[in-house]
Chain A
């Protein structure tokens, strides 16, 4: 079992059946340490190639960044699951339901909403993170729930 310096991080390795399935999950508490926790978790996963870990960090950090800055993540934080199968990688986020994140995440599946654009008046980019996620991941699916919202990315 990997060890983490952050006391808020807990990881559960699930034994794999040969090479059929490898997966691991972690609990990420809200706050600035969330990135350290998540990135450290991904880098500790021995079943990931370096290129796979990089893709999970780029897309996952973007999801976490949006969760923390645009959402209303409760003390319950975010549960992250990484699963590797012969068919590819899945990265899943489970977070308490909240409306603002729903609005962000519902854009993930809309192509036209995720094209980045520069706002001359504000001097900042919009939709850049969405575009990055869509270009790194093969698919992105958002599933709202009564109590838990879920985001699934495949690679």
Chain B
């Protein structure tokens, strides 16, 4: 089975989670664990450029992280989603809930 990897790094004032692989009901736990650890505590960017597929299990994790960030007054950004990840986000019907940056270099200061 192809799993996911979630690498955590600091970039300026942002904590960046770089996700690689497919996000589904079998794999989303690692993403959930790491987003819950950081969401609402720091400004968090989730790099989805390496995501090969994403079901609603992954979307739900991101939405929960966005809500935690908004509640705590922290920033949350999705970075460079792959084509499949972008379509998955758009298919929810409320992609405007997902602040997006085109690349890590273009994260707000």
Interface residues of A (CB under 8 A from B): 31-33, 35-36, 39, 50-51, 54-55, 57-59, 61-62, 65, 68-69, 116, 118, 123-125, 128-129, 131-133, 135-136
Besides A68-B25, A131-B93, 14 new A-B residue pairs in contact (Cβ under 8 A), listed by A number: A32-B1, A35-B2, A39-B52, A57-B84, A58-B53, A58-B87, A61-B24, A61-B53, A61-B54, A65-B56, A125-B56, A131-B91, A131-B92, A136-B87
Instruction: Please indicate the chain B residues that have their CB under 8 angstroms from the CB of A65 in the complex.
Output: 24-25, 55-57
Q: Assess the B25–A132 pair: CB atoms within 8 A.
A: no
List 22 A–B pairs whose Cβ atoms lie within 8 Å, in order of A's numbering.
A32-B1, A32-B26, A35-B26, A36-B2, A39-B22, A39-B52, A39-B53, A50-B83, A54-B87, A55-B87, A58-B54, A58-B84, A59-B91, A62-B56, A65-B56, A68-B25, A116-B93, A128-B59, A128-B60, A131-B93, A132-B55, A135-B92
B72 at the interface (CB under 8 A from A): no
B107 at the interface (CB under 8 A from A): no
Question: Which residue of B56, B57, B63, B83 contacts A54 across the interface (Cβ within 8 Å)?
Answer: B83
Interface residues of B (CB under 8 A from A): 1-2, 22, 24-27, 52-57, 59-60, 63-64, 83-84, 87-88, 90-93
Closest to B86 in A: A54
Main secondary structure of the interface of A (DSSP, over half): helix
Q: Compute how far the CA of A124 lies from the CA of B57 in the bound complex, rounded to whole angstroms.
A: 10
A131 to chain B, nearest CB (A): 6
Kindly name the residue among A35, A39, A54, A131 whose own CB sees the greatest number of chain B CB atoms within 10 A: A35
Instruction: Please indicate the chain A residues that have their CB under 8 angstroms from the CB of B60 in the complex.
Output: 124-125, 128
B95 to chain A, nearest CB (A): 10
Q: Assess the B91–A58 pair: CB atoms within 8 A.
A: yes
Q: Compute how far the CA of A7 lies from the CA of B63 in the bound complex, rounded to whole angstroms.
A: 36
Instruction: Please indicate the chain B residues that have their CB under 8 angstroms from the CB of A62 in the complex.
Output: 55-56
Q: Assess the B25–A69 pair: CB atoms within 8 A.
A: yes
Question: Which residue of A35, A59, A131 contacts B24 across the interface (Cβ within 8 Å)?
Answer: A35
Instruction: Please indicate the chain A residues that have their CB under 8 angstroms from the CB of B25 in the complex.
Output: 65, 68-69
Instruction: Please indicate the chain B residues that have their CB under 8 angstroms from the CB of A61 in the complex.
Output: 22, 24, 53-55
